[in-house]
Amino acid sequence: MAEMEHDLVIRGGTIVDGSGEPKFVGDVAIDGEWISAVGHVPGRGRREVDATGLIVTPGFTDIHTHYDGQLIWSEYLVPSSNHGVTTVVTGNCGIGFAPCRPTDHAKLIELMEGVEDIPEPVTSAGLDWSWETFPEFMDAAERRGHDIDYAVMVPHSALRVYVMGDRAIRHEAANADDLARMKALMAEALEAGAAGIGTSRAYVHKSTSGELVPTYDVGEEELHVLAEAMKEAGRGVFQMIPAVTGEPPVGDFDIMRRISERSGRPITFTSAQSSRDPYEYRKLMEALGQANDSGAKMIAQMFPRPIGLMIGLSATANPFCMTAAWREIEDLPLAEKVARMREPEMREQLLHGDNLDPKHPLFPFARNFGQIFPLDPDRPDYEPDPATSMQALADAAGVPVEDYMYDQLLADEGRNLMICALGNFVLYNLDHVLEMLNDPNVVVGLGDGGAHYGMVCDASFTTTAMTHWVRDRKSTRFSVEQMVKTLARNPAEVFGLDDRGLLQPGYRAHVNVIDHERLRLFRPEIVNDLPGGGRRLHQRAEGYVMTVVNGKVIRENDEPVAGELPGRLLRGPQAPQAELAQAAE
């Protein structure tokens, strides 16, 4: 019998290698955690996979997630790993659980619940608080095995509360001692391998008590001090949710530019199509080009479909969730809730009752009926026809939109879910996505995996990108080569994760084998698998034949492989195998 020369060989697939170069038919050989050969592989593998008729891609990277808590209580970073994602970055928006003194646990839980819709009972049941400092948090996450790789950023709000206590909650300015302490803790985290720092200046980011996040209005000098720590360390990315107010192209653009110019470190920030000017993104791309040509390193993140608020009786938001009558029934089991809503008296109270102050700043959007669309259970459409909005359908039926929406919520025994396009869908199309993702200063991001458990289910965007944007869209599309590079290589490079995103010898064995003709998304659904019996939105896909992380098959035929948890904490930038060998000499 011939000696087996490789651990795994994927044979005869259509290789889309992540470089953007034309696809080709060939083999991929894997040995240990690395790709060892691509093209024609004569040697045999201990396991051989026939990929004829399938596409073979690098694993995808999502640089905007919130798995800070899920890293502690779960081995599986889902939904992301269900959708070909093999690397995530967490700690975004400045919200997280470290550093944190024991006396401040409740403060950070309240922030996470308000900003990211992770309920207090879930975090209270799921976090063991076996850390205080950020390096200790990294160690705690690393003690639990995970299915995919992850990098962690320091959350600015947590850092500020750790240094300043209640003064941070009260939005007091940091004094010289505060700044020195924050810089020292930032340096300590970078030395331990933190990927950078995340912060937020968005007015929609509030705790459950309605307080703006501690970082909302910090002085610019505080941001420079944190960036200076990264400059001195020679590593780290500054992530920011900028203010949504201010002059175009985006609030805080000049602040972000100065941070990058002074520190020499990359800064990445969220962007979306603006309702005040649907073409304002072109000003952003022009300003980005000018800034980066002048020495800044600024990268905008944008989402490749509408930023979606899920609407339903089991979700957190619906058009009637601000009424006093809803408060009476919101905690009932679904079947009881549906039964009460079918009572004529309750229907009248929900339809015509007084609205209370919203518990969450996104709740009023649940009444934006012209931007709420149905989702087919088997093939949800994320670029829907405007004629299918709740407002348009109600008008066509000749009934008040509130009544129409009420009946839609009761469909499928209350399990029906709809999507409200919060952003990126101002003109009822996604044409701007083509322009933005073709810009060298824009990357895809904002999957938000691990957060908004009852409100948002966007971590599946990679599957949307590979289906809608490559195969199904009726108008202009991306080539599969473009999209794979967009999902795999480009975002990895932002964080210096240079060992992945390419199917080439000497790169990490992060691989997807995809039946592209069969690939599809299902409508999000509610599952109850969080600590303390908490519920979350989950979304399945079909067509991921195999996902490989660090040489191990973690998913096969859309199901996890039991016992395979090869994911690693990425401590700092990552280099390809050849560079590691050269550095070791």
Please name every residue paired with 376 in a beta bridge, in sequence order, or none if there are none: none
For 32: left if phi > 0, alpha if psi spans -120 to 50, otherwise beta; the answer is left
Cα–Cα distance between 306 and 464 in angstroms, integer?
11
Which helix H or strand E contains 149, and what residues bound it? strand 149-152
Tokens representing 183? 């810089």
In three-state form (DSSP H/G/I as H, E/B as E, the rest C), the secondary structure along 475-522 is CCCCCHHHHHHHHHHHHHHHCCECCCCCCCCCCECCEEEECCCCCEEC
DSSP-assigned letters across all residues of 376-392: -SSS--SS--GGGSHHH
Residues whose CB falls within 8 Å of the CB of residue 38, separated by 6 or more in sequence, listed in order = 15, 17, 26, 27, 28, 29, 503, 504, 505
pLDDT of residue 1: 39
- With 0-12 / 13-18 / 19 or more C-beta atoms within 10 angstroms meaning exposed / middle / buried, residue 296 is buried
Question: Measured on CA atoms in the order 283, 284, 287, 289, is the torsion positive or negative?
Answer: negative
pLDDT digits (tens, 9 = 90+) for 48-85: 999 999 999 999 999 999 999 999 999 999 999 999 99
Q: Which pLDDT value is given to residue 176?
A: 97
Cα(217)–Cα(215) distance, rounded to whole angstroms? 6
* Number of other CB atoms surrounding residue 379 within 10 Å: 12
CA distance 486 to 58: 11
- Supply 94's token pair: 């400045």
Consecutive H or E run containing 220: helix 220-233
> Could you tell me the CA-to-CA distances from 433 to 272, 279, 441, 483 in Å, in that order?
9, 11, 13, 12
Q: Where are the alpha helices (DSSP H) in 307-361?
A: 324-329, 334-341, 344-352
User: How far is Cα 572 from Cα 580, in angstroms, rounded to an integer?
Assistant: 14
Measure the CA dihedral 76/80/86/88, to 10°. Answer: -90
Which residues in the chain come in under a pLDDT of 50?
1
Q: What single-letter amino acid sits at 396? A: A
120 is written with which tokens?
A: 């207090």
Distance CA 391, CA 160 (A): 44
Distance CA 512, CA 459 (A): 17
Spatial distance between the Cα atoms of 520 and 285, rounded to a whole number of angstroms:
32
Burial class (CB within 10 angstroms; exposed 0-12, middle 13-18, buried 19+) of 22: exposed
Helix then strand count (H, E) for the chain reads 20, 25
Burial class for 352, CB neighbours closer than 10 Å (0-12, 13-18, 19+): exposed
474 DSSP assignment:
S
Burial class (CB in 10 A: 0-12, 13-18, 19+), 584: exposed
253-263 vs 220-233: helix crossing angle, rounded to 10: 30
Cis peptide before 344 (omega within 30 of 0): no
- Tokens 């199509």 sit at which residue? 273
What would you report as the CA-atom Rg of the chain, rounded to the nearest whole angstrom? 24
Asked whether the CA dihedral 75, 465, 488, 550 is positive or negative, the reply is: positive
Distance separating alpha carbons of residues 85 and 514, to the nearest angstrom: 12
Picking from 106, 86, 85, 88, the residue whose alpha carbon sits closest to that of residue 97 is 106
**Dist CA 268 CA 265 (whole Å):** 10
| Cα–Cα distance measured from residue 257 to residue 569, given in angstroms and rounded to the nearest whole number | 30
Name residues whose C-beta falls within 8 Å of residue 542's C-beta, 6 or more positions apart in sequence: 518, 519, 520, 522, 558
pLDDT tens per residue across span 191-233: 999 999 999 887 566 566 667 788 888 999 999 999 999 999 9
Task: Check: CB of residue 398 under 8 Å from CB of residue 346.
Answer: no
Query: Which domains are assigned to the chain?
Result: 6-58+507-522+541-584 (2.30.40.10), 311-423 (no CATH)
Question: Are 51 and 10 within 8 A, CB to CB?
Answer: yes
Dihedral angle sign, alpha carbons of residues 313, 315, 318, 321: positive
Cα–Cα dist 64/95, whole Å: 12
